[in-house]
Amino acid sequence: MAKARAIVKRLKAVKNIRKITRTMELIATARFKKAMDRASEAAAYTKKISELVADLSQANLEFHHPLLEKHETEKNSVLLVLTSNRGLCGGYNSGVLKAALKRYKELTASGQNVRLEVSGKRGISFLKFQGIAASQTYTHFEDRPTFEEVDELASRYILEYVEGKIDRLDVAYTEFVSASRQQAAVHSLLPIGVLAESVKETETAQKYDYEFLPSAQEILEEIVPTAFKARLFKCFLDAAVSEQIARMVAMKGATENANEMVGTLSAQYNRARQSQITSEILEIIGGAAALE
């Protein structure tokens, strides 16, 4: 009897866990949809900005902005790592952290002072374990990062970059390519390389002869920080969406595994029960035969 009991106990535990992972999967799915909606709504802004940049660049202007210019010597850089606050999301955090660590080592090897800023409890504890000190940590970016929160960071980076306190800003996060593909990536956001990179051939659009107030150049200069903020915000949104997808996939796998385990465990239990019954019958028959 002892063996069958033990199997029943395990079976119950597995079923309970399956319930939990299944629920987590459903929650992640709902959150993913919400995050995705937010991300696609936010895309309108980025699209408009790049449209404006495209319109402005038709004027073929020479313009300078401190955020576009590379500093002569790169000494101080900032590496912003976006991870999640919660675990159970598969390889999401490890992917980002691996990429971040690689860039961190590259930067320190080239003799730069790297300031690490980490968002998300997972990343914070990982780096603590690695013995790398992070100068700033954030845990308030959940699955709904707001522009205001990101703006605060972005404004600080802009100010520091313009003042020359930092020479470079890298962001390690999970890039959202499509619903079925996300990849950990490290992107340099400052200095802004090419402003118009996101402007694909939109030549089909009608060309307008704009009147610029104040002037095309001044507007472009004003757009640069806005474009940077929009980009940083996009990183946060991407990370949020990818986290939910990763969790969804991980929990789906876990539920499937639990299902499989429930199957094998119940087969095992049935077999154990069967053999127990058989042996009991044999005992009875044996006992009866002995009495004759």
Partner 1 sequence: MAQEFRLLLVTPETTLLDQSIESLRCTLFDGQIGILPGRMPMVGRLGYGELVFYSADDGTESRYYVDGGFLQVQGSVISVLTEHAIPVSKLNAVEAEKLLEEALARPAVGDEQCDARERDQRRARAMLALSSHK
Backbone angles phi, psi at 140, to 5 degrees: -90, 0
Q: In what order do the strands lie in the sheet with 76-82?
A: 136-138, 113-119, 76-82, 168-178, 181-190
Distance CA 52, CA 220 (A): 9
User: Interface mask (CB under 8 A) for partner 1, residues 35-74, using x and -?
Assistant: ---x--xx-xx--xx-xx--xx------------------
Instruction: CB nearer to partner 1: give 25 or 55.
Output: 55
The answer for residues whose C-beta is within 8 angstroms of residue 229's C-beta and 6 or more apart is 147, 150, 151, 154, 155
Told to check if 142 binds partner 1 by CB under 8 A, we report: no
CB of 193 to partner 1, least distance (A): 21
Distance CA 101, CA 188 (A): 15
Residues in the chain: 292
Told to check if 195 binds partner 1 by CB under 8 A, we report: no
Q: Which of 203, 206, 288, 290 binds partner 1 (CB under 8 A)?
A: 206
CB of 226 to partner 1, least distance (A): 8
- Contact between 7 and 265 under an 8 Å Cβ cutoff? The reply is yes
Tokens coding 9: 């106990």
Told to check if 214 binds partner 1 by CB under 8 A, we report: yes
Q: Which of 159, 196, 267, 281 binds partner 1 (CB under 8 A)?
A: 159
Instruction: CB nearer to partner 1: give 98 or 147.
Output: 147
Distance CA 251, CA 90 (A): 8
Q: Which of 29, 57, 85, 147 binds partner 1 (CB under 8 A)?
A: 147
Instruction: CB nearer to partner 1: give 164 or 263.
Output: 164
CB of 255 to partner 1, least distance (A): 33
Distance CA 122, CA 139 (A): 10
Q: Of 107, 101, 97, 106, which is closest to residue 76 (Cα–Cα)? A: 107
CB of 42 to partner 1, least distance (A): 6
Query: Which residues in this chain contact partner 1 in the complex, by CB under 8 A?
Result: 38, 41-42, 44-45, 48-49, 51-52, 55-56, 146-148, 151, 159, 162-163, 206, 208-214, 216, 218-219, 222-223, 226, 229-230, 233
